[in-house]
Amino acid sequence: MVYILTHLFFDSSQIKIKLMGYFGRLEDKLKAQELRRQGLSYGEIQRQIDVQKSTLSDWCKDISLTEKQKLRLLSNKMFGQKRGSLVAAENKRQERILKTNKARKEARKDIGKINDRESFIAGVALYAAEGTKRDHNVGFANSDPLLIKFMMQWFLRFTKISPDRIRGVIWIHEELDEKKAKIFWSKLTGIPLNQFNKTYIAKIKKDTKKIRKNIHKYGVFTIRFSDSMIHRKIMGWILALFDGKIADIPL
């Protein structure tokens, strides 16, 4: 008799536990359905109720949403997708920055310390690419401040030109600030403002469909001076470098 009562008591405990679990789930189900009727997404409901999405979908499958609620959910979904795209793009950007920094660090190691001769040859090569070729006039134009600074120092160092003979010229679009550009290039090169020639202002073509992708904030700067002998010597350096040296390098 004792065994039977104990057995019955055990069974009743199990039933009690199952009933508690059932009513707990029932409470969650009713709450989930109410939240769904309010127009909440499954994700929003899951933040309030610990339930799997498949169970949640089964509980709420017969609940119809209003057009306004559907529009809200669609808008949130599109925002979530856009946010996901932005996060992915930012991750790629950070990865690209890390790779770029690594490549630049390795490149610096490859170059090492540059001596006078290597600086001289680098300047000759740059002038061959971007310098004025016509006789009498020496000039180097570029929008990159690093190259302009390097070539300014190169002219002073290797051609022995007097600083007061050097002129600065700016080519800039009309919507940009000419005054700021002059101050920027003067500070960078050390050329006084009174040694700047007249700025060339490029007009914007109103009827063109072409979109300029690269807008140089301070325009394109030219280092310029007149000296026939220096120009001929530079051209001789270029000829000697490419005809006499680089041409002999096996490709």
Residue 194's φ and ψ, nearest 5 degrees, are -75, -5
pLDDT at 16: 47
SS3 116: helix
Q: Are 167 and 196 in contact (CB under 8 A)?
A: yes
Residue 31's φ and ψ, nearest 5 degrees, are -65, -40
Mapping DSSP onto H, E and C, the string for 208-220 reads CCCCCCCCCCCCE
Start-to-end CA distance of the chain, whole Å, equals: 104
- pLDDT category at 83 given cuts 50, 70, 90 is low
pTM: 0.61
> Domain coordinates of the chain in residue numbers?
2-64, 116-248
- pLDDT category at 26 given cuts 50, 70, 90 is confident
Contacts of 138 (CB under 8 A, 6+ apart): 131, 132, 155, 159, 161, 224, 225, 226, 227, 230, 231, 234
**Six-digit token pair at 188?**
């960078």
pLDDT at 14: 54
Residue 204 identity:
I
Instruction: Report pLDDT digits (tens) over 106-153.
Output: 999 999 999 999 999 999 999 999 999 987 899 999 999 999 999 999
* Range 95-107 burial, b when 16+ CB lie within 10 A, else e: eeeeeeeeeeeee
What is the C-alpha separation between 195 and 242, in angstroms, rounded? Answer: 34
Architecture of the domain delimited by 2-64:
Orthogonal Bundle (1.10)
Q: Are 168 and 221 in contact (CB under 8 A)?
A: yes
Residue 170 scores a pLDDT above 60 = yes
DSSP code for 221:
E
What dotted CATH number matches 116-248?
A: 3.30.1330
